[in-house]
Structure formats: C-alpha cells, structure tokens
Amino acid sequence: MKFFSTFLTKIISLLAISVSLCACVKDVDLEQREDIMLGPQVQIDLLIYNIDQSKFMDPETGDLKTRISDTVRLAFLDDDYIQKDLTSVEFYFRHINTFPREIESKIRFLSNENSEQFAVNYTIKPGAEGKPVTTERYELIEEERIDLVRRSIKMVVELEVQPGATAFQGELDFASKGLFTFKF
C-alpha cells in the first residue's frame, strides 16, 4: 500500500512537472498580426434617374433644351475610410434609352472647389418607343489614380441631345453603382 502511494505521488509529481515544463506556445508567428487587414469589397448604389422629354423642355419657351445637368454631392467621399483606406473603385453606369437620338453623357467628378478630377464620357445609343437600347460603361480607378476619387466630392451628370430629324420623345433610365475596395 505504501509502495502504491509513493508510486502515485511520484507519477503525479512527474506529470505536474512535465506539464509545467512542456506548456508552451509554438508553431505560430505572432508577428503576423502586423499584416492583418480587413479587405471588404462593397457594392454601393450611386445615382438613379428616369426622365422623359419634359425634362428637356424649356419651361418658359417650350423649346427643346439640348443640354441638361445636375450635381449631387457625395459627402461620404470625404469620410476617413475613403481618404485613408480606399484602394480601388470600379464604377458602373448604365443608360436604357427609348429616345430615338444619340445622347452624349458626361459624368464628371469634381472637388470641393469644382475642379474636375476625372470624367467618364460616352455616347448613349438611340432607341425607339418599345425598343429600349442599353448602353453600359465601366470605369476602373485603381490604386495609382485613387487620389482622384479621394479628392472628389461632387458627381455631375450631364446629358446633351444630339441633333436629329425624328421627334424627341421617349425615356432615359440611368443606373449607377460603385464597387469600392478597401484595405483597413
């Protein structure tokens, strides 16, 4: 009995010493914490509109205004996460046109002082009543040009109707979004 007690005591002591000596953290490199970053890719809707010929009429004369525009302030472009952590943006613009004429679309991004940072210009293809035609455009702003987005705060949408003989009637539908990629 005494032998058994002594044996158990020694075994437990040995086990306790082994555990305390062996306890360690290995096969890991905690320095890697410096490399940890969040890299979300966020899809965000931007501007939308759906307009018909009435938006192109001069309210006083009733004549066709060939050029209309509007400006939307995108205040989030000034936020910290854009200024510090944005790495790229892929813009997507889509027009669905039933006007029977080409329309020049200019999408400009301006700074707070109205200085143009970059612009995306393209021609919207003509459609017809009941036969909408879709024009799409992607614009990728990568790391080397990302400061252009960071300096922007306003988005200007501008439409210029091209001359033509057909009656100017129809609808123009606009959708836009951005895929914003961050590294926090």
Question: Judged by CB, which is closer to another protein: 16, or 128?
Answer: 16
Question: Judged by CB, which is closer to another protein: 68, or 148?
Answer: 68
C-beta neighbour count of 102 within 10 angstroms:
17
Minimum CB–partner distance for residue 23 and another protein (Å):
4
Q: Copy the structure tokens of residue 22.
A: 């062996």
User: Cα–Cα distance between 94 and 108 in angstroms, integer?
Assistant: 15
Minimum CB–partner distance for residue 85 and another protein (Å):
12
Minimum CB–partner distance for residue 104 and another protein (Å):
15
Q: Write b or e for each residue in 36-66: b if 16 or more Cβ atoms lie within 10 A of its Cβ, otherwise e.
A: eeeeeeeeeebeeeeeeeeebeeeeeeeeee
Minimum CB–partner distance for residue 6 and another protein (Å):
9
Minimum CB–partner distance for residue 119 and another protein (Å):
17
Residues making up the chain, counted from first to last? 184
Binding site for another protein (CB under 8 A): 5, 8-9, 12, 15-16, 19, 22-30, 32-33, 35-51, 55, 58-59, 68-75, 92, 94, 157, 173, 175-177, 179, 182
Residue 118 in contact with residue 144, Cβ under 8 Å?
Answer: no
Question: Judged by CB, which is closer to another protein: 55, or 150?
Answer: 55
Question: Judged by CB, which is closer to another protein: 75, or 165?
Answer: 75
- Nearest Cα neighbor of 167 from 126, 135, 119, 136 is 126
Question: Judged by CB, which is closer to another protein: 51, or 148?
Answer: 51
User: Cα–Cα distance between 139 and 129 in angstroms, integer?
Assistant: 29
